Amino acid sequence: MNFQLKTFAEYEEAYQKSVSDPEAFWAEVASEFKWRKPWTKTLQWNFDEPNVKWFQGGKLNITENCLDRHLETRADQPAIIWEPNDPHESGVTLTYRMLHDQVCRMANVLKRNGVAKGDRVCIYLPMVPELAIAVLACARIGAVHSVVFGGFSAQSIADRINDAKCRLVITADGAYRGNKEIPLKSVVDDALIGCPSVERVVVMTRTRTPVAMLKGRDVWMEQELKQVTADCPAEEMDAEDMLFILYTSGSTGKPKGVVHTCGGYMVYAAYTFANVFQYKPGQVHFCTADIGWITGHSYIVYGPLACGATTLLFEGVPTWPDAGRFWEIVDKHKVNILYTAPTAIRSLMSFGLEPVQKHDLSSLEVLGSVGEPINAEAWHWYDDNIGKNRCPIVDTWWQTENGGILISPLAGLTKTKPTYATLPLPGVQPVLVDENGTVIEGNGVSGNLCIKFPWPGMLRTTYGDHERCRQTYFSTYPGMYFTGDGCLRDEDGYYRITGRVDDVLNVSGHRIGTAEVENAINMHTGVVESAVVGYPHDIKGQGIYAYVITEALPADHDADLTKRDILATVTRVIGPIAKPDKIQFVTGLPKTRSGKIMRRILRKIAEGDVNNLGDTTTLLDPAVVDEIKAGAV
Ligand code: PRX
């Protein structure tokens, strides 16, 4: 990892170079990886179509970089440490040699079941080693993985499988999450009723829940693994071949499949991992995200393994069996780098210091935060009680579409400031723009955050719908990638992300579109219309507030039960993560004469700020606002 910067001066120098000569800069970084054939053109791009290609002509396989490359130097070093949900169950440590072996075997299982280069594979697994192994097995043979987070419903899985026309699904009988058992295979069975592209389902055993196994379609992973060898040469991939699809929510319609490609993503995930966390050989890196999200893809699997790191994979939740679970893991595995989300920190803060004090946290050297803005109180609690004021905190801002971290301190190098993501990484050129698209220069300003130059880890398209990619990210401000986030740049040139400026919610670090939740609520019988907004929530960051209009209900109807029914429908359609925290029944919504819902007013009411509603004179029926105010929950 010669590309690891060691001082702030080196960061400044790298940044300058990355802007003045981006191609030379990234070519030098990329040359540290194993390429079967070197690239012929480092970068080709325009943000109009958009068309972005990095390292064209280069041939590689990301698993040769994450696994084979390390066998000579660190075959017996732990690659993955797995900590199960239940602290009394013994975990597993896989060395690089063992991981290589298991990935090759799983890759052969996929081949045996008809998966070929370019095919899409849906992975719906708990946080067990097999999840990382399945991801890498796909990459080994050039199949495109689409990991679906275990908290999504059958309907959401079906939508994702159908959008990508997945040929095979990898799942488990069930999953443990805290004191809950989730019947994964049964959820997949429900999903597959409407998924004609799926030919095979590979099922691993985790919870020993009885499952239906359909002859000709479903096979047991354990039995399949017995039929194969550990010899699986890596498929040669073009730098711009698809590596994976990951679905994420936007402000309109169904979630879209963000596409990342092999070469650029690998280079960017590894570069940012080594630099942001300042990873040193031998350290244990614990990223608490689920591999079902981009954070898990880049900073549990690909980034750490590409750098030859030891990555910890945790199956459970922070509060079970008690709120000391993270700290117990840190102590037990001598974790050096802890990377988690503000919502987890806030939730653990509420349990006080006792669960923290029971454990030795002296191994910690670097703390990270990701997924949503971190409030000052949580930042200081993390700094004081977890890092004991001796561990730099990296507040890392980025998105599914970015592949890796874009704005963040480099641990120990960049001077931090609570609630600030601080400075852009080398290769990242942020700009702030006003509503009219004019670039706002200078410091002490705020605006909408755009990026004006490509970086290797950026999305290339949205699967099956390139126009949607152009529309969503490249049309608001022509010539720039629009992030959807608001941001301020202070007098020191430090960036602070203030949150989404579009109709995307961030609930416990999960990204959810208001339109998606509304569509789900509207599917409930008797619902005429709904409007969903976010409101500040102490633990989740944002909570979901739904205003719902129903058909006339019988006088004796049980409003509370109807609310719970609506929650059940949302859980069915999207999953439990999208359940509204509050539902208010209303008879009308504040609409303009052209029929547009004035969300600004609904947000104010949800926030409890009812005396500051601003101008309501343009409303079709201003009286509706008084009714909503009076009934706010
Ligand atoms: O609003 C920003 C917020 O999370 C959004 C991206 O969500 P997702 O694609 O699910 O990826 C999350 C993990 C990479 C962003 O548009 N966000 C992410 N990190 C931060 C953040 N907001 C403030 N500070 C952060 N560090």
∠ CA 440-443-446, rounded to 5°: 55
Report ipTM for this prediction. Answer: 0.99
| pLDDT band at residue 191 using 50, 70 and 90 as cut-offs | very high
Share of the chain above pLDDT 70, in %: 100
269: phi then psi, degrees, rounded to nearest 5:
-65, -45
List, as one string, the DSSP characters of 79-106.
EEEEE-SSTTS--EEEEHHHHHHHHHHH
CB-ligand 1 contact for 278 (6 Å cutoff): no
CB-ligand 1 contact for 373 (6 Å cutoff): yes
CB-ligand 1 contact for 248 (6 Å cutoff): yes
Task: Kindly state whether residue 440 falls inside one of the protein's structural domains.
Answer: no
CB-ligand 1 contact for 505 (6 Å cutoff): no
Task: Kindly state whether residue 249 falls inside one of the protein's structural domains.
Answer: no
CB-ligand 1 contact for 400 (6 Å cutoff): yes
Taking 90 as the threshold, does the pLDDT of residue 614 lie above it?
no
Q: What is the pLDDT of residue 618?
A: 84
| pLDDT band at residue 319 using 50, 70 and 90 as cut-offs | very high
Is residue 71 a contact partner of residue 97, using CB atoms and an 8 Å limit?
A: yes
338: phi then psi, degrees, rounded to nearest 5:
-115, 125
Residue 597: closest CA among 544, 537, 536, 548: 548
Q: How far apart are the first and last CA of the chain?
A: 54
Q: What is the pLDDT of residue 557?
A: 86
| pLDDT band at residue 571 using 50, 70 and 90 as cut-offs | very high
Task: Kindly state whether residue 619 falls inside one of the protein's structural domains.
Answer: yes
CA distance 407 to 309: 22
Task: Kindly state whether residue 466 falls inside one of the protein's structural domains.
Answer: no
CA distance 97 to 94: 8
The residue ranking higher by pLDDT, 493 or 593, is 493
CA distance 126 to 82: 12
CB-ligand 1 contact for 397 (6 Å cutoff): yes
Taking 90 as the threshold, does the pLDDT of residue 251 lie above it?
no
- Among protein residues, the one whose CA lies closest to atom 18 of ligand 1: 371
- Categorise residue 442: left if φ over 0, alpha if ψ from -120 to 50, beta otherwise: left
Cis geometry, peptide bond prior to residue 580 (ω within 30 degrees of 0)? no
CA distance 53 to 512: 29
Q: Which helix (H) or strand (E) holds 43?
A: strand 41-46
Torsion angle defined by CA atoms of residues 7, 8, 10 and 12, in that order, rounded to the nearest 10 degrees = 180
| pLDDT per residue as tens digits for the range 354-389 | 999 999 999 999 999 999 999 999 999 999 999 999
Is residue 22 a contact partner of residue 44, using CB atoms and an 8 Å limit?
A: no
Last residue of a domain, one of 235, 264, 288: 235
Task: Kindly state whether residue 168 falls inside one of the protein's structural domains.
Answer: yes
| pLDDT band at residue 617 using 50, 70 and 90 as cut-offs | confident
Residue 304: closest CA among 270, 263, 264, 342: 270
202 CA distance to ligand 1 middle (Å):
33
Which domain does 155 fall in, by range?
A: 96-235
Give residue 252's identity as a one-letter amino acid code: T
Residue 514: closest CA among 589, 456, 442: 589
- What's the total number of domains in the chain? 2
| pLDDT band at residue 52 using 50, 70 and 90 as cut-offs | very high
Mean pLDDT, rounded, for 427-435: 97
Helix (H) and strand (E) counts for the chain? 21, 31
Residue 302: closest CA among 65, 81, 125: 65
Mean pLDDT, rounded, for 484-511: 96
Taking 90 as the threshold, does the pLDDT of residue 513 lie above it?
yes
Q: Which residues pair with 482 in a beta bridge?
A: 450
CB-ligand 1 contact for 497 (6 Å cutoff): yes
Residues 6 or more apart whose CB falls under 8 angstroms from that of 457 comprise 260, 264, 265, 267, 268, 269, 272, 298, 402, 403, 404
| pLDDT band at residue 554 using 50, 70 and 90 as cut-offs | confident
Task: Kindly state whether residue 402 falls inside one of the protein's structural domains.
Answer: no
Among 258, 300, 370, residue to substitute to test ligand 1 (most atoms within 8 Å of Cβ): 370
595 CA distance to ligand 1 middle (Å):
31
Mean pLDDT, rounded, for 569-585: 97
CA distance 456 to 206: 37
Chain CA centroid to CA 628, Å: 35
Q: What is the pLDDT of residue 177?
A: 97
Task: Kindly state whether residue 567 falls inside one of the protein's structural domains.
Answer: yes
Half-sphere exposure of 60 (CA within 13 A, CB side): 33
Going through 118-274 in order, the beta strands assigned E by DSSP cover 120-124, 144-147, 168-172, 175-177, 180-182, 200-204, 218-220, 237-238, 242-248, 256-261
Taking 90 as the threshold, does the pLDDT of residue 556 lie above it?
no
Q: Which helix (H) or strand (E) holds 20?
A: helix 8-20
- Whether the model pTM is above 0.95: yes
Atom number of ligand 1 nearest to Cα 373: 23
The residue ranking higher by pLDDT, 25 or 622, is 25
Mean pLDDT, rounded, for 420-435: 98
What does the DSSP 8-state code read for residue 468? H
Mean pLDDT, rounded, for 243-258: 93
Q: Which helix (H) or strand (E) holds 550?
A: strand 541-550
| pLDDT band at residue 141 using 50, 70 and 90 as cut-offs | very high
Last residue of a domain, one of 235, 270, 287: 235
Q: Give me the CATH number covering residue 627.
A: 3.30.300.30
CB-ligand 1 contact for 485 (6 Å cutoff): yes
| pLDDT band at residue 612 using 50, 70 and 90 as cut-offs | confident
Task: Kindly state whether residue 421 falls inside one of the protein's structural domains.
Answer: no
Q: Give me the CATH number covering residue 136.
A: 3.40.50.980
Atom number of ligand 1 nearest to Cα 396: 26
Rounded to the nearest integer, the mean pLDDT of the chain is: 97
594 CA distance to ligand 1 middle (Å):
33
CA distance 343 to 33: 35
Last residue of a domain, one of 204, 235, 266: 235
